[in-house]
Structure 1
Amino acid sequence: MRPAFLLALALPATSVLAQSPESKPTPTIAAKTATMVHMPGLLPLDWDARAGKLYLEIPKLNYDILYTNSLPHGTGSNDLGLDRGQTSGGKIVHFERSGPKVLLVEPNQEFRSSSDDPAERLSIHQSFPESVLAGFKVEAENPDGAVLVDATDFFVRDAHGVIETLTTLKQGAFKLDASRSTIELDHTKAFPKNTEVEALLTFTSETSPGRRSYVADVTPDPHALTLREHQSFLELPPPGFTPRRFDPRAGYFPSSYRDYSAPLGEELDQRFIIRHRLIKKDPSCTKACEPVTPIQYYVDRGAPEPIRTALVEGARWWDQAFQAAGWAKGTFRVDPLPADADPMDVRFNIIQWVHRYTRGWSYGAAIADPRTGEIIKGNVTLGSLRGRQDYLIAEALLSPYVKGAPAITPSNDPMLAMVLQRIRQLSAHETGHTLGLAHNFAASAFPHTDLDETISVMDYPHPYIFLNKGGVPDLSHAYPVNIGSWDKVAIDYGYREFDRSGSAVERPAALNQILADSEKKGLIFITDEDSRPFSGAHPHAHLWDNGADPADELIRILDIRAKAIARFNANAIKPGMPMAQLEDTLVPLYLLHRYQTEAAIKEIGGLDYRYQLRDDGQINPTIVSPEDQNKAIAAVLKTLTPDTLTLPESLLQILPPRPPGLRRTQESFPSETGLTFDPIATAESAADLTLAVLFDPARASRLVQYHMRSPKAPSLRGLMEAVSKTTAERPEGGHTMSSEVERAVEFRALEAMFTLAVNPTASSQARAIAHSHLEDVLKQFTSAAPLTDTAEAIHRAAMIDRINDFNRDPEKFVPAKSIEAPPGMPIGDDEE
């Protein structure tokens, strides 16, 4: 808020202006809006239908409220990332008046003072800028200070930043066309605690769409993209919410600001978790406590059955965690959205079902009070194509459409059963984000024997597959049920309330004990930054993996994959489908091992660690044991062998070129053979997935260092030698498909080593070792006896030429690009 003396100066100026003989008297709000449609509420609205203008009444100036915007109608494009129902973060704003103007001001919440000294607070206010978001002319005013402004231009604008997104993605020179934009009255409403305004906006571009025009994929005319944007003003929550300190072990997203009044030696950055408000009806209650107001979520009615019911069921799992944290059953509630409710109403927590042109991520977002971290609205976005991808995975594994077998119906459909398992888990996962929870990618490494036991819905689960007695994949336990043991720990930390004398208080010792007890059980929290397959080093934090031992699980998955490929045939697609559809169904099966391979690779050059606090008793960072690293290397090398990568001839004989109307997409395998299926490029793309992670520059640099610290740990040179040896071994006779596959993989391994040798982000020693190994390979090739097999002789000569090209000028050498594989699942989520 601005200093009081500035406001005092502004008010007399207004009074003088209103009485000036040169100016017309300012009418009252009632007189100005007498013929308009009036909508009473927090900020009342007045619609002038004849002029097409929307007026905003501001009953109180210099009064903080929450402002946010959203996208009720999206682009339907995963590439554009502008989804139906997408929300922005919440902003604290207030209206200020200066003479004939009213300014919408966003104070700076990032830099604050906890001091009671006005001068100290003023110094911080004056040190950092605030933002004036909009300016308005006063159209009418009342004696009590209420003012009326024409807010049409404010509401008919690109508040959500669509143009910025289109520009960033190089989609053309789009601009907002005011002549094709208007207020959307059906969804413009005012309520006692919030005001909601929606506008239909048309963005136009005169340039022709390029080859990578995502707009052209989803819009009837790519020169005119029409969406809706929604803006909300909301009354700030009342006092009574107690912020809770952020702890890196607890699994929450932080809300932070800088307190420049913090004493020297104390933390400048103040961090709190984001969470919903829960207050006990009875402050003395310690078990099964009734909340004053339960947390209520609603599921989008646009989701079809049985998906909608699965979404409700999965999200409701969270009530189990709240009960474990001392709350009564029904504290967390989920129901279908009432038919007359508007999902864009900022008061509703929503789980939305969103359609896109191509499949993509789901995510959970939250609008929170920047002052305290209190969540005002949870907003889940679930992509509808997710279920279809899961169904495809199940079809590939089961090959279920056997002639003469009973017809598959919803009641006996194992693919649908797996999809609904996944939808329940996904609904719980994304809802967890809107409760304030971050990913816990270490959960899947916690040892357990019950296939239906959940450790955390906040991990990315890979479907758990096992073989039945007949050697056929079984998906009956693909995804576990109910909320997980880690999830209960996290909710206990974030939502358990400690009361004293009738008011909520914080008890740091009790909160710390919750996390200490969890760690003693082996339940730990490791999140996004530490789990990435390339830069991540943690051996237990992976995406879409299973099992406490990544190498053992990789061997198990490779065995399941081999048996499923051996029985993969026309029974994987429905009768009457184009046989070329088999290629798309094959993709998730052929690449079934990709994520478990990444998990096993992270054991190599891995470092086991925790988010330690001083004296909290957790382990110190520990290099993964040499035994586990070598075990992982042996397992990962199997993903580069011809036994793994060569498809059977019986399958190649039934894969025809694609017919008209079934074009290749990003979901298709690469091909260097024109219209026909290319088993060599397919193998190369799978090999590149392994090699890119295996020879990541950060991993290579760690291998060098960890081998120096622990001589028994594998070395980078030893790893490169193992890869070269594995990819050079071929079956007898060079004129077989498996031999050709392995020659291609050996070439891809060579290119991966080139990439490492010239990568400036790798350590100098890692690059030097890569150079040295390439020299050794060249010496081995040039000193070996001449080959009698023509195919092998040609391959060796090409390898020699490629290394010589590299040696002539390594700095200018450009390694061949990776053979791009289809994008994989995703069966998790993208962001919070």
Structure 2
Amino acid sequence: MQMIRKERHGLASLAGLGLVLTAMLAGIVPTVEAKEYPAWEEVTKGATTMPGLFPLYYNQKDQQLFIEISKANYDTEFILPISIASGAGRMYLGGDTLNFGDQWLVCFRRSADRIHLVRKNIKFKASAGSPQADAVKTSYNDSIIRALPIKSEKSGGSSVLIDAADLFMVDLAGIGVNPDRSRSTWFKVKAYPENIEIQVAAVFTSSQKYTTVFGSDSAVPDPRGTQIVLHYSLSKLPSNGYKPRLADDRIGYFLSTVNDFSKDVDESAKVRYINRWNLEKENPSSELSAPKQPIIFWIEKSVPRTYRPYVREGILEWNKAFEKVGFIDAIQCRDQQSSDDFEPEDIRYNTFRWITTASSFAMGPSRTNPKTGQIIDADIVFDESMVRYHRQDYVKNVGIPQGLELLARGERQAFMKLFAAEVPEIEGRQAEYDEMLKLYKELIAEHPEHSLNQQFPRQPTWVNSTGGCNCCMMGPGIQRQLGLMSSVMSINGLAPGGKVPEEFIGQAIKEVVMHEIGHTLGLRHNFKASTMLSLEEINNPEITRKKGMIGSVMDYAPANFALDPAKQGDYFTTTIGPYDYWAIEYAYKPISGNEEEELNKIAKKAPEHDLIYATDEDMAGNPDPRINLFDLGDPLDYSEQRIAFMKKSIDGLVDRVVEEGDGYQRARETFTLLLGEISQATQLAAQYVGGAYTARDHKGDPEERPAMQPIPLEKHEQALDLLSREIFSDTAFTFSPELLRKLAPEHLTDGYESTPNYLYPIYDRVLSIQRMALTSLLHEQTLKRVQEIELQAVKDQEVLTLPVIFDSLTTAIWSEVPAEINPNEPIEISTIRRNLQRAYLTQLSGIVLGTTAAPADAKSLARLHLQDLFDRLDGLEEANAKLSPYSKAHLRETRDQIAKVLNAEISSARP
């Protein structure tokens, strides 16, 4: 019965629809009474009219701003860049580009008495008029992100007025900033023929958690009244006949990706365009020509005059690469004068900006047309604390919440590559960082629209979900290198008082500027480029000043210290490298013939030694040990030299870095820096074990390399020998009592938030380095890769095996307990060695008991080594060996623990 009612209802509805259609055909159409709006003149009374792309009506006195949207502009696409013009310290960085890598194309559509702000879905397309176009239209839609009430309407509906506050006095950027309209104001309002620029002084209440996690740096006196200036642009898209250029995975560029369903079904629908500027020759027939429209960078007046020459050199250095492809003065520099009235956030201007926070960062984001990849605007932000190289709390200032989150997600390899130098410091402050991570996760839970791979209040992420760099980590790393340089120069008598000579700071600035300009030209990071030269070649200026110290300035290079000061070359690279020339050739070389063929010819150079390449995503899962931050030359040779250099520098550092009349805090800072460099070098060596060389070559490339090939056995043996000697041996870490007694804490603090720790946690910090190496060598991924690489070896090729790893570790770590006991020879095991032996026992026990994931063969080997160690310890008891009380207690406890592990493993139930 119920079904019959439904059917009758449906028939009635159809009948009603029929009557409506009949009435419409007969010309009898019901009328909808048009809504009457307040008069245009009344709404805009007292406002100044500002003609432009969208006419603006601004009443500054009453803080009212209206935007006129004409009917002709409905459904027209505009780009909507958002940035922070003035920030709030580290929480919200001034100059930050908010939607970099995810440009918004928007349009306005009218719906009754509302204007919808529509964010266009431009990731999916098909040829107009094709069946695939209908399928795309059915499958994908745009997003309506704001519904804006119409405030007035011109006669005939030719234009409407909206209140700009409904659009911009909200959290339009999606960063958790909801302006309080009663306290927020219009900071700047400008209209131009092809764009409008609007700044909002947004006042809001920020969470105290931001301050705890990201550090306030006294930037916000009261979080209840946090204020930042948000800059919004609405701009036309360029219409200059730009031709997109397809990407190639052998060369690293930021990408604009669309899915084109017009392509054949046997091809991927994805089309990837590289991001680049529209450079065209003014005289196409000339071998060398000025561009029709050069890339002009304005050096903002905020840049200190002392450093402007280095900034200019860094910007213009790239012209060398453009000249190779036929452009003269492709990049130009201009100094901003007081009379130059423009905002750096204005999409028509490319700027180099100087800001002051404690985050020591630099970034070079650009705006692109997401449909084509054409770059239309770029702004470099350089934080001046980078050159204030005096040691700062790097881990707290520069993103340790991100690092801990990487560990929580199991991305140990990425964490170690980013933060290995900070591991000793983290070890001593784990409780503090655990609390920071807890608060950080609470912030994420409160703002689920954000994630680690997006910009959540101003954390410097190293790569985002679209493969774009949000905030470059080179700046903070260079600050660390300058701090290290200050200490090393003090130790070597080259920088009294630790003041690095200006020329070397200038070199560092130039290198960072070259790096960030590379980003604004579209280039991504290249973390293999530092391996181009040997350590001997790196200290030969005749080579480095011609082709660079590294293959690309898109790598992160450390300050170069020669082990022998008499052979010291440049500290920083002074020019762009071979890879940079090659990348510019691929993106910017004018091509008149078959573009696909010509581009492939360029990309086929990939196997050349100087053009080696790997980028951000390779940091997390690529087994190639040549992919690193802040290394030089062969990473294993560099690791060995760096450890030797740092240990040499530790001797007698107090007298060399602490000036007469100064406190001894500088000694602690320097010692911590040197330990951190040893930690970094340890990670570089450890990752060779279980590593493999990788390449991006395509089939048919000249001298193509396999995608993956085993590392020669001698390199593995070199790595294990280095770790055994310099990290695991009983003489690896020895420090004089005179040094340890003078590692004074910082007494001057900004309040009572911290209590000086007089005891330097030397045992914890040394163990953290040793444990990091142990964890890397015995990690499940390492052990699995060692086994898998055995399969890749050709006949009679010797490769690393699991037994070699376990034998090397046991021999180095338990050298005090020989297989044959001499009862007349006393055995003394130091505290540092006892800590290391306990850590190794924990690792082996975890593998045997299954609490630490490992391959089955590794479990068998771990059990074998525990059994062997147990037998040796038993032999000590029987031989009545001469042991100190510490050593006797330690070895007996070790023997008892091994017995429990072996018994537990034997009795455990197996399926």
TM-score, normalization by structure 1? 0.83
User: Offset of 1:715 from its aligned partner?
Assistant: 2.0
State whether structure 2 residue 146 is matched by structure 1 residue 134.
yes
Match of residue 11 from structure 2? none
State whether structure 2 residue 148 is matched by structure 1 residue 183.
no
1:349-382 superposed Cα distances (whole Å, 9 cap, x missing partner): 233333333x454333222111101112223333
Match of residue 781 from structure 1? 873
Match of residue 552 from structure 1? 637
Q: In the alignment, residue 68 of structure 2 is paired with which amino acid?
A: E
Do the aligned partners of residues 154 and 426 (structure 1) sit closer, same or farther apart at CA in structure 2, a change above 3 Å counting? same
Match of residue 446 from structure 2? none
Following the alignment from structure 2 to structure 1, what is the Cα–Cα distance between the partners of residues 710 and 855? Answer: 19
Following the alignment from structure 1 to structure 2, what is the Cα–Cα distance between the partners of residues 745 and 700? Answer: 20
1:627-638 equivalence runs, <5 A: 627-638=714-725
Match of residue 395 from structure 2? none
Do the aligned partners of residues 657 and 524 (structure 1) sit closer, same or farther apart at CA in structure 2, a change above 3 Å counting? closer
Following the alignment from structure 1 to structure 2, what is the Cα–Cα distance between the partners of residues 604 and 798? Answer: 31
Q: Greater helix percent: which structure?
A: 2
Do the aligned partners of residues 660 and 96 (structure 1) sit closer, same or farther apart at CA in structure 2, a change above 3 Å counting? closer
1:656-805 equivalence runs, <5 A: 656-661=744-749, 675-707=758-790, 710=793, 712-729=798-815, 739-753=830-844, 758=850, 762-766=854-858, 769-770=861-862, 772-785=864-877, 786-787=880-881, 788-800=883-895, 803=898
1:452-601 equivalence runs, <5 A: 452=545, 453-454=547-548, 455-468=551-564, 477-499=570-592, 507-532=595-620, 535-547=621-633, 549-601=634-686
User: Offset of 1:727 from its aligned partner?
Assistant: 2.3
Match of residue 163 from structure 2? 150
Match of residue 823 from structure 1? none
State whether structure 2 residue 66 is matched by structure 1 residue 52.
no
1:735-758 superposed Cα distances (whole Å, 9 cap, x missing partner): 68xx32222233333445556665
Following the alignment from structure 1 to structure 2, what is the Cα–Cα distance between the partners of residues 208 and 743? Answer: 40
Match of residue 83 from structure 2? 70
Following the alignment from structure 2 to structure 1, what is the Cα–Cα distance between the partners of residues 902 and 224? Answer: 50
User: Offset of 1:782 from its aligned partner?
Assistant: 4.2
Contact 1:246/1:273 (<8 A) preserved: yes
State whether structure 2 residue 287 is matched by structure 1 residue 276.
no
Q: In the alignment, residue 793 of structure 1 is paired with which amino acid?
A: K
Do the aligned partners of residues 628 and 407 (structure 1) sit closer, same or farther apart at CA in structure 2, a change above 3 Å counting? closer
User: Offset of 1:215 from its aligned partner?
Assistant: 4.9
| Farther-moved stretch of structure 1 (436-445 vs 701-710) | 701-710
> How many residues end up aligned between the 2 structures?
755
Following the alignment from structure 1 to structure 2, what is the Cα–Cα distance between the partners of residues 61 and 587? Answer: 61
User: Offset of 1:302 from its aligned partner?
Assistant: 2.5
Match of residue 136 from structure 2? 124
Do the aligned partners of residues 808 and 529 (structure 1) sit closer, same or farther apart at CA in structure 2, a change above 3 Å counting? farther
Contact 1:462/1:545 (<8 A) preserved: yes
Question: SS where residue 632 of structure 1 aligns?
Answer: helix
1:247-306 superposed Cα distances (whole Å, 9 cap, x missing partner): 000121221111112112122111111111101112223x22211001112334323243
Query: What CA RMSD, in Å, does the superposition of the two structures yield over aligned residues?
Result: 3.5
User: Offset of 1:67 from its aligned partner?
Assistant: 0.9
| Farther-moved stretch of structure 1 (609-618 vs 55-64) | 609-618
Question: SS where residue 107 of structure 2 aligns?
Answer: strand
User: Offset of 1:623 from its aligned partner?
Assistant: 0.7
1:88-103 equivalence runs, <5 A: 88-89=99-100, 90-103=103-116
Following the alignment from structure 1 to structure 2, what is the Cα–Cα distance between the partners of residues 799 and 744? Answer: 12
Contact 2:57/2:65 (<8 A) preserved: yes
| Farther-moved stretch of structure 1 (92-101 vs 141-150) | 141-150
| Farther-moved stretch of structure 1 (779-788 vs 155-164) | 779-788
User: Offset of 1:99 from its aligned partner?
Assistant: 2.4
Do the aligned partners of residues 530 and 352 (structure 1) sit closer, same or farther apart at CA in structure 2, a change above 3 Å counting? same
Match of residue 516 from structure 2? 430
Do the aligned partners of residues 246 and 346 (structure 1) sit closer, same or farther apart at CA in structure 2, a change above 3 Å counting? same
1:416-470 superposed Cα distances (whole Å, 9 cap, x missing partner): 4333222111111122112111111121112352344422101111211114567
1:76-475 equivalence runs, <5 A: 76-77=89-90, 80=91, 82-89=93-100, 90-113=103-126, 115-117=127-129, 120-142=132-154, 143=156, 145-163=158-176, 176-184=179-187, 187-204=188-205, 212=213, 214-215=215-216, 218-285=219-286, 287-328=287-328, 330-339=329-338, 340-357=341-358, 359=359, 361-387=361-387, 388=389, 389=479, 390-399=481-490, 414-447=500-533, 449=537, 450-452=543-545, 453-454=547-548, 455-468=551-564
Do the aligned partners of residues 271 and 644 (structure 1) sit closer, same or farther apart at CA in structure 2, a change above 3 Å counting? same
User: Which blocks of at least 5 consecutive residues in structure 2 are unaligned?
Assistant: 1-23, 390-478, 538-542, 818-824
User: Offset of 1:521 from its aligned partner?
Assistant: 4.7
Q: In the alignment, residue 236 of structure 1 is paired with which amino acid?
A: L
1:78-122 superposed Cα distances (whole Å, 9 cap, x missing partner): xx4645433313211111112222111112111111x23255423
Match of residue 6 from structure 1? none
Contact 1:363/1:381 (<8 A) preserved: yes
Match of residue 169 from structure 1? none
Q: In the alignment, residue 117 of structure 1 is paired with which amino acid?
A: G
Following the alignment from structure 1 to structure 2, what is the Cα–Cα distance between the partners of residues 692 and 664? Answer: 37
- Of the candidates 24, 30, 36, which is equivalent to residue 24 of structure 1? 36
Do the aligned partners of residues 806 and 216 (structure 1) sit closer, same or farther apart at CA in structure 2, a change above 3 Å counting? farther
Contact 1:401/1:572 (<8 A) preserved: no
Q: In the alignment, residue 235 of structure 2 is paired with which amino acid?
A: L
Do the aligned partners of residues 469 and 256 (structure 1) sit closer, same or farther apart at CA in structure 2, a change above 3 Å counting? closer
Contact 1:251/1:437 (<8 A) preserved: yes
User: Offset of 1:793 from its aligned partner?
Assistant: 1.7
User: Which blocks of at least 5 consecutive residues in structure 1 are unaligned?
Assistant: 1-11, 165-174, 500-504, 814-832
Following the alignment from structure 1 to structure 2, what is the Cα–Cα distance between the partners of residues 318 and 767? Answer: 54
Do the aligned partners of residues 794 and 418 (structure 1) sit closer, same or farther apart at CA in structure 2, a change above 3 Å counting? farther
Do the aligned partners of residues 301 and 506 (structure 1) sit closer, same or farther apart at CA in structure 2, a change above 3 Å counting? farther
Following the alignment from structure 2 to structure 1, what is the Cα–Cα distance between the partners of residues 690 and 720? Answer: 10
Contact 1:598/1:690 (<8 A) preserved: yes
User: Offset of 1:217 from its aligned partner?
Assistant: 5.8
1:480-524 superposed Cα distances (whole Å, 9 cap, x missing partner): 21111110000110111113xxxxx65222222223235335522
Q: In the alignment, residue 594 of structure 1 is paired with which amino acid?
A: S
Following the alignment from structure 1 to structure 2, what is the Cα–Cα distance between the partners of residues 677 and 444? Answer: 34
Contact 2:84/2:92 (<8 A) preserved: no
Do the aligned partners of residues 36 and 592 (structure 1) sit closer, same or farther apart at CA in structure 2, a change above 3 Å counting? same
Q: In the alignment, residue 624 of structure 1 is paired with which amino acid?
A: I
Contact 1:570/1:579 (<8 A) preserved: no
Contact 2:870/2:898 (<8 A) preserved: yes
Contact 2:690/2:786 (<8 A) preserved: yes
Q: In the alignment, residue 656 of structure 1 is paired with which amino acid?
A: A
Do the aligned partners of residues 773 and 735 (structure 1) sit closer, same or farther apart at CA in structure 2, a change above 3 Å counting? closer
Contact 2:682/2:769 (<8 A) preserved: no
Do the aligned partners of residues 517 and 406 (structure 1) sit closer, same or farther apart at CA in structure 2, a change above 3 Å counting? closer
Contact 2:207/2:223 (<8 A) preserved: no
Following the alignment from structure 1 to structure 2, what is the Cα–Cα distance between the partners of residues 25 and 211? Answer: 49
1:629-658 superposed Cα distances (whole Å, 9 cap, x missing partner): 112221233331354422223312322354
Following the alignment from structure 1 to structure 2, what is the Cα–Cα distance between the partners of residues 211 and 729? Answer: 45
Following the alignment from structure 1 to structure 2, what is the Cα–Cα distance between the partners of residues 457 and 750? Answer: 43
User: Offset of 1:526 from its aligned partner?
Assistant: 1.5
Following the alignment from structure 1 to structure 2, what is the Cα–Cα distance between the partners of residues 209 and 782? Answer: 55
Contact 2:37/2:153 (<8 A) preserved: no
